[in-house]
Amino acid sequence: MNGTPREVLEFAKSKGAEFVDIKFIDFPGRWQHFTIPASRLSEEMFAEGIPFDGSSIRGWKNINESDMLVIPDAATVFMDPFCCHPTLSIIGDIHEPITREPYARDPRFIARKAEQYLASTKIADRAYFGPEAEFFIFDDVRFAQDEHSAFYSVDSIEGAWNMGREENPNLGYKSRLKEGYFPVPPSDSLQDLRSEIVKNLMACGLTCEVQHHEVATGQSEIGLRFDTVVRMGDALSIFKYVVKNTVRAFGKTATFMPKPIFGDNGSGMHVHISLWRGDKNLFAGPEYGGLSETALYFIGGLITNAHALLGITNPSTISYKRLVPGFEAPVNLAYSQRNRSAAIRIPVTSGRPEAKRVEFRCPDATGNPYLTFAAVLMAGLDGIENRRHPGEPLDKNIYDMPPSELANVKKTCADFPAALAALEAGHEFLLKGDVFTEDVIRTWIDFKRENEIVPVMIRPNPFEFCIYFDV
């Protein structure tokens, strides 16, 4: 629903809510929550907020300044479909308890500032984002790491590696590597489960457009209808929550890791973007692919700032095991109508100007959705403001291009450390309008290096034993 505090209270009463769950997102991008009895919910709470300890939230406060406020947003209410007791869920904004100002590191606040900056430029009055977050569904996942050993194992009933397994009975219909795109059941064993996910998403107020099996074993995609920056950040947070909990209820598990299976396709999050003023889509025009000059400059901004941008939109070490040259991955920083190895694709829209958009194919869903969408918007606006033309489109088959020609096509970063270094060196486009701050950028980079990059780098990889043990 999208109502007032009074309407929220009436909605909670009409649904028989016994509890209210307050959800907010931490700095890296995971939902956090606490629950109060529904009898505590009041209209005043939407103005005064609810205090909590912010010192244990990743990337936020120190222990000596831990008190924070979460202020529920009345426009984000839905009934949680997974709780045993009727529970109303509300997404909240984080504020400082003394000044009552929005907390500078709250990702939702950063996304809201990006929307405000867009309006201040007079370029457009709103931006629409439509992500396609792919994910894997597995029947069993095991992993461990200690001082002397490490392993992981994922399994799916669809896996070709299970063709000879004793399943009492094994009925076949396993997915060959890279042959999972659009098969009908029984090869697609996840049809009903995805439909159940869609039902739960719609029950939470989201609009779904399509669901289907993806290329890899156990891989799926469910398309969400586009929305504005903050609302799409909310929607993607709800999406991941619903996917994981629906799948768990069926005795399976879901992950948004970009590359959990070696040798098969990885999961990305293709992001569709358009800018609007009133009822006019500013990306429709007479240029290449039915785009406007504004859209081309937006693409130019994405390409120019891509290396730094990926430090936010692809913020995990495993993100770059998907972005590998020589495969179908979108590693070429160029644009094209139909070349899916290009970082930016121009979807075919049958001449409808209202549907014209650009598709940024690099991101994945390991990041913080509010920061991802805000950063993409800021990179594109930088292109428009500085008239950064993206050059000629890449319409050739890259596998047929001579090495000398392909070498001139700019590529994505080879790994996460390189992306963070690029973000550290060139993030001025994010600072405009105080959308991102130096503190936010510094905290993001330091957190990722300390908690993810260094821990991965200092641990032996099992495959290193395969290639180095007998040296």
Give catalytic residue positions: 53, 132, 134, 214, 221, 270, 340, 359, 361
CA 83, CA 141: separation in Å to the nearest integer? 24
Which residues are within 8 A (CB) of 81 and not within 5 positions of it... i.e. 6 or more apart? 200, 203, 204, 242, 245
Alpha carbon distance 119, 125 (integer Å): 5
Let me know the angle formed at the C-alpha of 261 by 255 and 264, rounded to the nearest 5 degrees.
120
* Rounded-to-integer distance, Cα 274 and Cα 373, Å: 12
Question: Which residues lie across from 350 on neighbouring strands?
Answer: none
| C-beta atoms surrounding 116 within 10 Å | 12
Dihedral, 110, 111, 114, 115 alpha carbons, nearest 10 = -140
Q: Is the dihedral of CA 260, 262, 265, 269 positive or negative?
A: positive
- Find the distance separating the first CA and the last CA of the chain, reported in whole Å: 63
Helices 306-313 and 293-304 pack at an angle, to 10 degrees, of 80
Q: Any idea of the CA torsion for 318, 319, 323, 324, to the nearest 10 degrees? A: -10
Tell me if 89 sits within 8 A of 23, measured CB to CB.
yes
Distance CA 94, CA 24 (A): 8
> What six digits make up the tokens of 467?
């290639």
Structure tokens at 208: 């779904």
Whole-number Cα distances in Å, 194 to 137, 258, 303, 403: 10, 19, 34, 42
* Nearest of 434, 121, 113 to residue 282 by alpha carbon: 121
Burial of 71 (0-12, 13-18, 19+ CB in 10 A): buried
Report the length, in residues, of the chain: 471
Q: What CA–CA distance (Å, rounded) separates 390 from 294?
A: 11
Q: Of 267, 417, 390, which is closest to residue 332 (Cα–Cα)? A: 390
Amino acid of residue 416: F
Q: In whole angstroms, what is the distance from residue 12 CA to residue 2 CA? A: 13
